[in-house]
Structure 1
């Protein structure tokens, strides 16, 4: 994926996050809501800084391939096992 396409992906996500977070009063500034899971979706609140992390960007690419920007939960949906997501985000929070 080219740099331009990743920049476009991140820009589109930031727009979607602004709209979605306005409706979510429990989302702290500088964070976003993601729904994770293949069948049963679980809601997570993660820092916006994750958008700049290559591992998180890989998950976003997979999400874009599966859902484009029409997310069934109304927010960003990441189609992976919850355990994989928790493992990845725990590695991001330490680095």
Structure 2
């Protein structure tokens, strides 16, 4: 839980926050030939069936998406292998990302 407090100290939209999240993404995701550079994988876990999304790092500037990442860290932690699980429905994530 101590790690979540460090995340909360970073200012929303700050370079420090983006570097922190990018570092967590790089360290927690295995390298894969199917994921293009500048992208990462998340899974929207709520609803009847989880859905996988490959999204651009540019979305780390979206305040609503950053809220989801914060919730994911608090609920699931960033210390897992593979995709980041987000506590939202797939349609909610699509709305937030504009896809």
- Which bracket does the TM-score occupy, shorter chain normalised? 0.7 to 0.9
**Partner in structure 2 of residue 32 of structure 1:** 40
**Partner in structure 2 of residue 2 of structure 1:** 9
Query: Normalization by structure 2: what TM-score?
Result: 0.70
4+ residue runs over 3 A deviation: 4-13
Q: Which runs of 5+ in 1 are unaligned?
A: none
Distance of 2:26 and 2:79 partners within structure 1? 16
Which structure has the highest helix share of the two?
1
Q: Is the 8 A contact 1:21 1:27 kept in 2?
A: no
Root mean square deviation, CA, Å: 2.6
Q: Is the 8 A contact 2:39 2:55 kept in 1?
A: yes
Question: How far off is 1:17 after superposition?
Answer: 2.5
Query: Normalization by structure 1: what TM-score?
Result: 0.72
